Amino acid sequence: MTVIVDDAGSGDLLFGVVVGAYRQETNHFKYDIIDVRFYQEIFKEKEYLNESSRIVSNLVATFNPKSDEEIHICQGCIFDVAAENLRKIYGEDRVKRIHVEGEAQRLIEIAYLDEIRNLGYEPLAERDEKRGKSFFHMMRWLKENPEMLRYAKTGWTKLKNYQLFQKFHPSVHSESTQIYRAVCVDCGSDCDVPFQPKTDKPVYCKKCWIQHKPNKTSKRHKKVKSKMK
């Protein structure tokens, strides 16, 4: 027999992470949740790895694996600590890292979807195929329901670039620097700049600024030439 461990929701903006264990021979399934608080203020401390290990150990123990039973655990980094701890308990040969598919994956995904539906959010039907679209769909829902931000993984560093989450990343801009909203003259996208935009000077987003940034070498050459005069 085999116990399979997988997760759902670790790459999703909403809620915590569902961790589940499944024994395919008996169709026995159990799951627990890594609370979303591990992905908020304390996210950088990576305590979610230890919490994942604790949950996995408890789930596997409830199956009371037989001495010859293997434990297959997802290859995702969220289980790195958990896998090492399982090997200490059950032995190196019995714990294998795999790509989880089939019924185990399906049941754990269903558990996660049930949890986010309980928040009042209806996930995209094609979320598995379009992860990027799913992310922005969740973000739009949070904009419409800002009181639900307490259920979002606000500690993700990549969120600092979105105005909705900047209050959760106060170190992004110093208190002494005022940030202004502007529109890039090249691509037309919204951008934040640390100066008051003026009508007689073009404003560029970070991506477009690279194309207009003065060449340091040519600047240095001009200074030297000026001194020679």
pLDDT category of residue 224 using cuts at 50, 70 and 90: very low
pLDDT, tens digit (0-9, with 9 covering 90-100), for 8-36: 999 999 999 999 999 989 999 999 999 99
CA–centroid distance for 180 within its chain: 27
- 117: which strand partners? none
Phi and psi (nearest 5°) for 132? -65, -45
* pTM summary value: 0.73
**Can you give the residue ranges of every domain in the chain?**
2-140, 173-229
Arithmetic mean of pLDDT over the chain? 88
What gap in Å lies between CA 179 and CA 26, rounded to an integer? 58
User: 172: burial class by Cβ within 10 Å (0-12, 13-18, 19+)?
Assistant: middle
Q: What is the CATH number of domain 2-140?
A: 3.30.420
What gap in Å lies between CA 15 and CA 184, rounded to an integer? 34
pLDDT of residue 214: 64
The answer to whether 142 and 149 are in contact (CB under 8 A) is yes
Q: What percent of the chain has pLDDT over 70?
A: 89
Assess whether pLDDT exceeds 60 at residue 196.
Answer: yes
Assess whether pLDDT exceeds 90 at residue 91.
Answer: yes
- 71: which strand partners? 3, 95
